[in-house]
Amino acid sequence: MQIRVLAFATAADVIGKEPVEIDLEAGATVDSLGASLCQQFPALEPIWPRLAVAVDGEVVRGSRTLEADAEVALLPPVSGGSIVRDARP
Amino acid sequence: MQIRVLAFATAADVIGKEPVEIDLEAGATVDSLGASLCQQFPALEPIWPRLAVAVDGEVVRGSRTLEADAEVALLPPVSGGSIVRDARP
Amino acid sequence: MTEGHASPVRASLTEGPIDTAAATDAVAGATCGAVVVFLGNVRNHHGGRTVTELAYSAYRPMAQARLEQIVTELEGAATGLRVAIVHRLGVVPIGEASVVIAVASPHRQAAYEASRTALERLKREVPIWKRETYDDGSATWREEEALAPA
Amino acid sequence: MTEGHASPVRASLTEGPIDTAAATDAVAGATCGAVVVFLGNVRNHHGGRTVTELAYSAYRPMAQARLEQIVTELEGAATGLRVAIVHRLGVVPIGEASVVIAVASPHRQAAYEASRTALERLKREVPIWKRETYDDGSATWREEEALAPA
Contacts of D128 in chain A (CB under 8 A): 78-79
Q: How many CB atoms lie within 10 A of CB C1?
A: 11
- Distance (Å) of CA C98 to CA C28, C40, C57, C93, C147: 21, 6, 11, 9, 10
- Say yes or no: D46 contacts chain A, CB-CB below 8 A: no
Alpha carbon of B77: minimum distance to chain C alpha carbons (Å)? 6
pLDDT (tens digit, 9 = 90+) per residue, A32-53?
Answer: 999 999 999 999 999 999 999 9
B8 with C57: Cβ contact below 8 A: yes
Q: Where are the domains of chain A?
A: 2-75
- Say yes or no: A81 contacts chain D, CB-CB below 8 A: yes
Contacts of D19 in chain C (CB under 8 A): none
- What pLDDT is recorded for position A79? 77
Do the two chains D and B touch, given a threshold of 8 Å on CB pairs and at least 3 pairs?
no
Do the two chains C and A touch, given a threshold of 8 Å on CB pairs and at least 3 pairs?
no
- What pLDDT is recorded for position B82? 61
Closest CA relative to residue A63, chosen from A26, A24, A35, A28: A28
- What pLDDT is recorded for position C9? 65
- What pLDDT is recorded for position C5? 45
Phi then psi dihedrals of residue D15, to 5 deg: -85, -20
What is the distance between the alpha carbons of residues B42 and A71, in angstroms, rounded to a whole number?
A: 81
Of D57, D65, D120, nearest to A80 by CB-CB distance is D120
Contacts of D131 in chain A (CB under 8 A): 9
Phi then psi dihedrals of residue C4, to 5 deg: 80, 0
Interface test with C, best of D19, D31, D41 (most C CBs within 10 A): D41
* ipTM confidence score: 0.88
Do the two chains B and A touch, given a threshold of 8 Å on CB pairs and at least 3 pairs?
no
Q: Is the pLDDT of residue D83 over 50?
A: yes
Alpha carbon of C144: minimum distance to chain B alpha carbons (Å)? 4
**Which of the residue ranges B25-34, C3-12, C51-60, C119-128 would you say has the lowest mean pLDDT?**
C3-12
Share of chain C above pLDDT 70, in %: 89
Establish, for the pair of chains C and D, how many residue pairs have beta carbons separated by less than 8 Å.
116
Helix (H, G, I), strand (E, B) or coil at C107: coil
Of D57, D62, D124, nearest to A57 by CB-CB distance is D62
Share of chain D above pLDDT 70, in %: 89
What is the distance between the alpha carbons of residues C84 and D49, in angstroms, rounded to a whole number?
A: 29
- What pLDDT is recorded for position B83? 60
Q: Is the pLDDT of residue B18 over 90?
A: yes
Q: Is the pLDDT of residue C145 over 90?
A: no
What is the distance between the alpha carbons of residues D26 and D19, in angstroms, rounded to a whole number?
A: 11
Helix (H, G, I), strand (E, B) or coil at B59: strand
Q: How sure is the predictor about D48, in pLDDT bands with cuts at 50, 70 and 90?
A: confident
pLDDT (tens digit, 9 = 90+) per residue, C75-95?
Answer: 999 999 999 999 999 999 998
What is the distance between the alpha carbons of residues B72 and B48, in angstroms, rounded to a whole number?
A: 14
Q: Is the pLDDT of residue A85 over 60?
A: no
Of A73, A76, A78, nearest to D123 by CB-CB distance is A78
Q: Which tops the pLDDT comparison, D121 or C4?
A: D121
Question: What superfamily would CATH give domain B2-75?
Answer: Beta-grasp domain (3.10.20.30)
- What pLDDT is recorded for position D6? 44
* C14: Cα within 13 Å, side-chain hemisphere: 17
Q: Is the pLDDT of residue D4 over 60?
A: no
A86 with D146: Cβ contact below 8 A: no
Burial tier of A6 (Cβ tally within 10 Å: 0-12, 13-18, 19+): buried
- What pLDDT is recorded for position D119? 96
pLDDT (tens digit, 9 = 90+) per residue, C12-32?
Answer: 999 999 999 999 999 988 777
Of C61, C124, C142, nearest to B57 by CB-CB distance is C61
C149 with D41: Cβ contact below 8 A: no
Mean pLDDT of all residues in B15-19: 96
- What pLDDT is recorded for position A71? 93
Establish, for the pair of chains A and D, how many residue pairs have beta carbons separated by less than 8 Å.
68
C107 with D150: Cβ contact below 8 A: yes
Residue spans of beta strands (DSSP E) within A24-88: 52-55, 58-60, 71-75
Give contacts of D 78-137 with A, CB under 8 A. 120, 122-131
Q: Which residues are CB-neighbours of C101 under 8 A, at least 6 positions away?
A: C37, C38, C83, C84, C85, C115, C118, C119, C122
Q: Hey, what domains does chain D have and what are their CATH numbers?
A: 11-142 (3.90.1170.40)
Mean pLDDT of all residues in B44-55: 94
Interface test with A, best of D59, D66, D140 (most A CBs within 10 A): D59
Contacts of D141 in chain A (CB under 8 A): 9-10, 13, 76
Q: Is the pLDDT of residue C3 over 90?
A: no
What is the distance between the alpha carbons of residues C118 and C69, in angstroms, rounded to a whole number?
A: 10
Q: Is the pLDDT of residue C143 over 80?
A: no
- Evaluate whether C130 touches C121 at the Cβ level (below 8 Å): no
Q: How sure is the predictor about C99, in pLDDT bands with cuts at 50, 70 and 90?
A: very high
